[in-house]
Amino acid sequence: MHRRLLLTALGTVAAPAVLRAQDTYRSAKAGFRLVALARDLEQPWSIAFLPDGRLLITERPGRLRVFAGGRLERTPLGGVPKVYARGQAGLLDVCLHPGFAQNRLLYLSYISDGPGGPVTAAARAELGEGGLRNLTPFFEALPRRPGNANLGSRLLFDRAGFLYVTCGDRFQMQQAQDLGDLAGKIVRLKDDGSVPPDNPFVGRTGVRPEIFTWGHRNPQGLTLHPESGRIWEVEHGPKGGDELNILKAGANYGWPRVTYGVNYDGSKITDNRSLPGMEDALRTWVPSISPCGLSFYSGDKLPGWKGSLFTGALSANALFRLELDGERYRTEERLLEDRLPNIRDVRQGPDGLIYLVTRSDEGGLFRLEPA
């Protein structure tokens, strides 16, 4: 939606820092209002909530911004790693160490350039006053190859304190089935980047020990189930075939041997929709919605949504709310369709509200509140 039209849809300015929507939106189980918190972001990718109430926001060109006291601070934080920012590449996810309140450690995923081509990378650093200190890169999704597509990456700590990093297939689909290559994989690491000894492929000749799951195309959402602690994931298919999955140690999720999608020119990839030894998706979208960001809602501010799973939908220009029956998909609802396009990240805040960022050059930070 054009910026001027979006401003009209959201209503008038209530204060310099916050544009409050006058329109009330209805979903099947909640009434809500969309509030614009900041609009001066360039292609934001991810948000993280600090214990002191501030928000960290990554911008794909390579900046880490702070939203504090109702305003977006003008000066980015220093100490961010140098990123390769072309095509889909750049600074991507940010997450906090589980012990952040004590150690001040945060983690970034980004695309790093080097001999042979760009690669998904991750680093950790201490958050200090005005910037990051002691930046330590600890992971690269080797080997390097040319290309700047299918490079989505998310970071997530599980309840045992292990870190998961998602790695796209770099638009070289066959690498997702190669266990000697980290493209098209989700890896599991200790908080210092070393490999846990109980990873599913440790000790196997010719297999990268970092791998937790394989056969992925372009994972762009990762979240923990609030009750079971299991890891849920969404990924982009090609033309059709986006997926919602639950991760299982050592499992193969099929790409490109199994898919509901086709190549962008309409040509066939495979006839297989399922194969023995490969995990079937809980939900497959045809046509594509391009799911991005993933978060369960467990708060009390919007009780009708409790237990729902939310994901942005880049190509569907909507926020999707999924209803589940345990670990089975039931139904879904499109919210804010064509009202807030290009939702890149979805997070539940510590205040029990839902926060979104939109990926455009005039991207924004938004909040959903009860009407």
Q: Where are the domains of the chain?
A: 1-46+289-371, 77-275
Is the pLDDT confidence value at 335 over 70?
A: yes
Is the pLDDT confidence value at 68 over 60?
A: yes
Is the pLDDT confidence value at 58 over 70?
A: yes
Task: List b or e across 71-108, with b for residues whose CB sees 16 or more CB atoms inside 10 angstroms.
Answer: ebeeebbebbbebbbeebbbbbbbbbbbebeeebbbbb
Residue 261 to residue 109: CA distance in whole angstroms: 27
Is the pLDDT confidence value at 10 over 70?
A: no
> For residue 2, what pLDDT is reported?
33
Spell out the CATH class of 77-275. mainly beta
Q: What is the pLDDT of residues 261-308, one digit of tens each?
A: 999 999 999 999 999 999 999 999 999 999 999 999 999 999 999 999
Distances in Å between the alpha carbon of 23 and those of 10, 301, 370? 7, 18, 12
Q: How confident is the model at residue 110 (pLDDT cuts 50, 70, 90)?
A: very high
Sort strands 343-348 and 354-358 into parallel, antiparallel or unpaired: antiparallel
Residue 364 DSSP SS3? strand
Longest Cα–Cα distance of the chain, Å, equals: 62
Q: Which helix (H) or strand (E) holds 39?
A: strand 31-41
Contacts of 15 (CB under 8 A, 6+ apart): 70
pTM equals 0.93
Task: List b or e across 264-284, with b for residues whose CB sees 16 or more CB atoms inside 10 angstroms.
Answer: eeeeebeeeeeeeebbebbbb
Residue 117 to residue 321: CA distance in whole angstroms: 37
Residue 53 to residue 102: CA distance in whole angstroms: 16
Percentage of the chain beyond pLDDT 90 is 90
Q: How confident is the model at residue 361 (pLDDT cuts 50, 70, 90)?
A: confident
Sort strands 242-246 and 185-189 into parallel, antiparallel or unpaired: unpaired
> For residue 24, what pLDDT is reported?
86
Among 19-23, 97-101, 355-359, which is the least confidently predicted range?
A: 19-23
Residue 129 to residue 365: CA distance in whole angstroms: 23
Q: What is the pLDDT of residues 164-194, one digit of tens each?
A: 999 999 999 999 999 999 999 999 999 999 9
Cis peptide before 143 (omega within 30 of 0): yes
Alpha helices in the chain (DSSP H): 3-10, 100-103
